[in-house]
Structure 1
Amino acid sequence: MWRQWLDTGREALGTHWPHNVLVPSVALGVGGALLCWKLHSRKVKSIELGEGWWGPGEKPHLLSEDTSIRPFIIEASDQDIEDLHERLDRTRFFSPLEDSRFHYGFNSNQLKKVVTYWRNGFDWKKQVKILNRYPHYKTTIEGLEVHFIHVKPPQLSSKQKILPLLMVHGWPGSIYEFYQIIPLLTNPGKHGLDPNIVFEVICPSIPGYGFSEASHKKGFTAFAAARIFYKLMLRLGFKEFYLQGGDWGSRICTLLSQMKPESVKGLHLNFMVLPTGGLKRLKSLIIGRYLPWLVGLTQEDSRRIYPYMEKNVFSILRETGYLHIQATKPDTVGSSLNDSPAGLAAYILEKFSTWTDSVFRDLEDGGLDRKFSLDDLLTNVMIYWVTGSIASSMRFYKENFPRNYNSTPDTKIGVYVPTGIAAFPCELVHAPRVWAKEKFSNIVTYTYMPRGGHFAAFEEPELLAADIQNFVLKVEKL
């Protein structure tokens, strides 16, 4: 045991003692043991996994949960389409302000165009065939029917290694956000990426979103979602895997990394919300405005952060009205959105405008066609509409904003797994590497992405796929 401690201490200190030489110094031996204990204690720090039951009624004590993986096929019923068309035909529009563009929310003139296309041009049955292009499944975990897609790579060569990758979406997105990036990750050689870094991709729908059953009880947080997705990966036979997420997916994947660091080979994020940082962060902001290098900020960080009061405070207030509603009384507005397809489209697509690039607020059409097709945008909206999941998806905000955020278990420990960060320039907030290191102690890659906003996989699948590959390649070589 002492030899093991000494070896660990020696490796940590970067020395090269011969294995057949004993160090007579008791002090050094004790120091090595203490160093080993310290390193070991850091590795084992984790959030308690916990347990939960989110199905209706009390958890059955006698019946064991069905652990089977069941194939699932999305269907487009004529009844759903007829009901949608009738509701769209009855849409009551209001007159927009002159020259309001998207500064007051979704421009009502543009909404008329969206509704007209949705009613007369959008082919839901065709889009369902696209959705069913990948294999869909459901399985029961903690009383909920959890939906996911599971895409395996095509036939591989002997040099290629399959790496399991769990990708988690956010709000107001869905698993459809990943449809363009999946072929890049599962068959990279065909798309000009490194052919030897091949992924087996699992994309679950967060419970309460899309085709995953919503919790029947209060208190379903990102901690519960992380635990459920960990159980999903175990059920699929993966003891070790990579994680990738943005928006709520970032939060869920980070928590999973803190719960089960021994299972997470690497964590890749394209969005982060960091703790406020207190006086240390304020000092960094004040000094960084004039001497960024003195507080570890780069010139690119400065370009993305400042002027702070204008870009980060006012812009956040302007873009987070939805958050205050959803974190307090989501069912009220959820009732309206669940009844009106036009209202649902306006509410969701406004985010795909301004969260993709804030300058799109200045455009009459919100710049929606700059990065997306209307078919793709409406397919995402339709997932919320046909499943009636908008209200339950919004409840996720209320469940995840406790009165004292700093008291949650994840704030007490860091993230120690290898981490890759893709910082997109049009993201809602920018987290410089020096700030991110306060929470993520093992940042392997940090990339200033050349373009793109909040919906990275949807907007820039090639850029995101290449960055994921670069991160994993470095982790695999560690």
Structure 2
Amino acid sequence: MWLEILLASVLGFVIYWFVSKDKEETLPLEDGWWGPGVRPTAGEDESIRPFKVETSDEEINGLELSSGNKLSLVLCLIHLLYLGSCILLQDLHQRIDKVRLTPPLEDSRFHYGFNSNYLKKVISYWRNEFDWRKQVETLNRYPHFKTNIEGLDIHFIHVKPPQLPSGQTPKPLLMVHGWPGSFYEFYKIIPLLTDPKNHGLSDEHVFEVICPSIPGYGFSEASSKKGFDSVATARIFYKLMLRLGFQQFYIQGGDWGALICTNMAQLVPSLPWPFSALSHVKGLHLNMAFILRNFYTLTLLLGRRFGRLFGYTKRDMELMYSLKKIFFNLLRESGYLHIQSTKPDTVGCALNDSPVGLAAYILEKFSTWTNPEFRDLEDGGLERKFSLDDLLTGVMLYWTTGTITSSQRFYKENMRLDNRHEGIKVHVPMGFAAFPCEVIHVPEKWVKSKYPKLISYSYMPRGGHFAAFEEPELLAQDIHKFVGLLERQ
């Protein structure tokens, strides 16, 4: 009897697969090698190694190259030759002390970019009060690891629940950051997911959270070869989850993380019953979506007059119009995109050489992408949602690893005309959190066109682009809501 049921199920699946009018197209699961040179003939080292964020006096205070520290210099040279991590150039504080700032225009606030009057406060705090060693201790609050995949050392944190309700197993959740962010963005949301009961949330769903660094960001090794895009990243993170022993898992992301997670769902999507137990990506939750269709440009132009005809809600209309406001907001906020999509190494030279320039370039995004109205404020509203310690920790993750250039190359690799994934729908159960101050609002109708299995769409009451960093409670609640709806289906 059971054999007959199994055969009938297999036959039903075959018929579904070949006859379905809306066949679920997927991305091919290929392979790659992104390390230097050619791929070694020996098999890949699949070990998972503990990793610890470390700092040193040299990293902060540098070395005075005088006769009094010849031994230190020799030791540092040896360290450089064999470990490649010793900083011999001018130290961070010296570079900050030698900064050259241009006075801002009167009453310019943040309309011309980062206001240099407020920047003086930021760099004074950075130079005299910011405690990097203390922040390194904070970074090490969660367990860090590295493993080599496709020739790259991949860094990630892996946080398990401190306790579980009786009879419950944790749900694996991969969370992926974007630019100019890092794994650190998730530090405040992690306890809400791994220990929800002690943080005011229901413990119906408890997660163990994996947050990798995108290759070329932070502690993940950068590709040595051209062409490393979001699909390659998605494949590597999929392999990471399998290496950790997860056959089924949830994924969540915003910014580049949204595209990487989307690509993961396109590579290894859900399967229909009775094969759903073989699915790898069980559910996808995003707080940003890349919907690139010419039709939506037309509906955007006509939507103010015929919004209901296009399926726009009253809230959609509030968030999307006026068109003039949308156009100028995109114009103001997309200059970096063109630079990084064309000549990332050029601007990278300046940013990797100047810590103050790097801070201004990165933190300006944490102002206007959090709320576009913050550009009307003298301080860019940065301390309304974030602390300087948190913001400068993010900057330091780029400065100490020297990864700003490699992080920007990700734009050039992904801005191609032949991106295979853009026309492929995502057939994985999906939840979406629409934060009102996101750079561009994506209506439910648009989301559902690419993610037809959308089961949860939430208009969030506040928040912008850096959702997990800015509004961890709201995002955690929406993830719990989405998983609850999915698992009750």
Instruction: Say yes or no: TM over 0.5.
Output: yes
**Secondary structure in 1 matching 2:305:** coil
Q: Which amino acid aligns with 2:133?
A: K
Alignment of 1:99-138 (within 5 A): 99-138=107-146
Q: SS in structure 1 opposite 2:352?
A: helix
- Provide the rounded CA distance (Å) in 2 between the counterparts of 1:453 and 1:48: 33
Q: Which residue of 1 aligns with 2:314?
A: 299
**Compared CA separation, residues 236 and 8, structure 1 to 2 (3 A):** closer
Match of 2:380 among 354, 366, 370: 366
Report the CA distance between 1:9 and its aligned residue: 12
Q: Which residue, 260, 271, 287 being the options, matches 2:288?
A: 271
Unaligned runs of 5+ in 1: 11-31
Q: In angstroms, what is the RMSD of aligned CA positions?
A: 2.0
170, 194, 201: which is aligned to 1:193? 201
Task: Decide which of 406, 424, 433 is 1:413's aligned counterpart.
Answer: 424
The CA deviation at 1:190 is 0.7
Q: Deviations over 1:13-38 (max 9, x none)?
A: xxxxxxxxxxxxxxxxxxx9966743
2:464 match: 453
Of 74, 77, 82, the residue aligned with 2:56 is 77
Distance 1:112 1:282, change over 3 A: closer
| Residues in 2 aligned to 1:384 and 1:434: alpha-carbon distance in whole angstroms | 37
- Aligned partner of 2:175 in structure 1 is 167
Cα distance in 2 for residues equivalent to 1:116 and 1:33: 66
Deviation per residue, 1:313-365 (Å, 9 max, x gap):
22111101001100000111101111110000000000000000000000000
SS in 2 for 1:350: helix
From 408, 414, 417, give the equivalent of 1:400.
Answer: 414
Q: Does 1:477 align with 2:488?
A: yes
What SS does the aligned partner of 1:295 have? coil
Kept in 2: contact 1:6–1:33 (CA 8 A): no
Distance (whole Å) between structure 2 residues aligned to residue 229 and residue 51 of structure 1: 12
Displacement, 1:42? Answer: 2.9
* Conserved 8 A contact 1:162-1:197: yes
Q: 1:64 aligns with which of 32, 43, 49?
A: 43
For 2:475, the equivalent position in structure 1 comes to 464
Which of the residues 42, 55, 61 maps onto 2:23? Answer: 42
Alignment of 1:251-400 (within 5 A): 251-261=259-269, 262-275=279-292, 277-278=293-294, 280-308=295-323, 310-400=324-414
Q: CA deviation at 1:159?
A: 4.2
Cα separation, 2, equivalents of 1:332 and 1:8: 55
Aligned partners of 2:175, 2:218: CA distance in 1, in Å?
15
1:179 maps to amino acid? Y
SS in 2 for 1:387: coil
Which of 28, 31, 35 pairs up with 1:55? 35
Note closer, same or farther for the CA distance 1:190–1:90 as it changes in structure 2 (3 Å cut): same
**Matched residue SS, 2:450:** coil
1:19 match: none
Q: Cα deviation per residue 1:281-310 (whole Å; 9 max; x = unaligned)?
A: 2442344212322211100000011112x2
Give 1:26's aligned residue.
none
Give the aligned length.
449
* Structure 1, 282-291 or 391-400: larger mean CA deviation: 282-291
Encode CA deviations 1:88-111: one digit per residue, 9 max, x unaligned: 111112211111100110000111
**Equivalent residues of 1:221, 1:400 under 8 A apart:** yes
Q: Which amino acid aligns with 1:430?
A: H
SS of the residue aligned with 1:137? strand
Do 1:9 and 1:36's aligned partners in 2 also have CA atoms closer than 8 Å?
A: no
Alpha-carbon separation, structure 2, partners of 1:64 and 1:160: 37
Tell whether the 8 Å contact from 1:2 to 1:33 is kept in structure 2 after alignment: no
Task: Using the TM superposition, give the Cα deviation of residue 273 of structure 1 relative to its aligned residue in structure 2, in angstroms.
Answer: 1.9
**Secondary structure of 2:449 counterpart:** coil
CA distance in 2, matches of 1:431, 1:273: 9
- For residues 59 and 318 of structure 1, do their structure 2 counterparts lie closer, same or farther at Cα, with a shift above 3 Å needed? same
Measure, in 1, the Cα distance between the counterparts of 2:14 and 2:175: 39
Q: How far did 1:435 drift? A: 1.1
Is the deviation greater in 462-471 or in 83-92? 83-92
Aligned partner of 1:155 among 137, 151, 163: 163
Q: Counterpart of 2:244 in structure 1: which amino acid?
A: L
Contact 2:234–2:263 (CA under 8 A) maintained in structure 1: yes
State the Cα distance separating 1:69 from its structure 2 match: 0.4
| Contact 1:337–1:343 (8 Å) recurs in 2 | yes
Is the partner of 1:394 in helix, strand or coil? helix
The amino acid across from 2:142 in the alignment is Y
> Are residues 183 and 35 of structure 1, via their aligned partners in 2, closer, same or farther at CA, if it must alter by over 3 Å?
closer
1:374-414 per-residue CA deviation (whole Å, 9 max, x = no partner) reads 00000000000000000000010011111x2xx32213320
Partner of 1:21: none
What SS does the corresponding residue of 1:161 show, helix, strand or coil?
A: coil
Tell me which amino acid in the other structure corresponds to 1:316.
L
Q: Secondary structure at the match of 1:267?
A: strand
Determine the C-alpha separation between the residues in 1 that align with 2:219 and 2:342. 24
Q: Tell me, in whole angstroms, the C-alpha distance in 1 between the residues paired with 2:242 and 2:175.
A: 15
Asked if the contact 2:17–2:23 (Cα under 8 Å) also holds between the matched residues in 1, the reply is: no
Structure 2 CA distance for aligned equivalents of residues 120 and 225 of structure 1: 38
One-letter amino acid matched to 1:433: E
CA shift in 2, pair 1:36/1:409, >3 Å: closer
CA distance in 2, matches of 1:252, 1:183: 24
For 1:152, give the aligned amino acid.
K
Structure 1 residue 160: deviation in Å?
2.9
**Corresponding position of 1:15:** none
Shift of 1:461: 0.1
Q: Which runs of 5+ in 2 are unaligned?
A: 62-90, 270-278
Q: Following TM superposition, by how much is the alpha carbon of 1:129 offset from its aligned partner in structure 2, in angstroms?
A: 0.2
Residue 83 of structure 2 aligns with which residue? none
Code of the residue aligned with 2:449 in structure 1: it is E
Deviates more, 1:122-131 or 1:52-61: 52-61
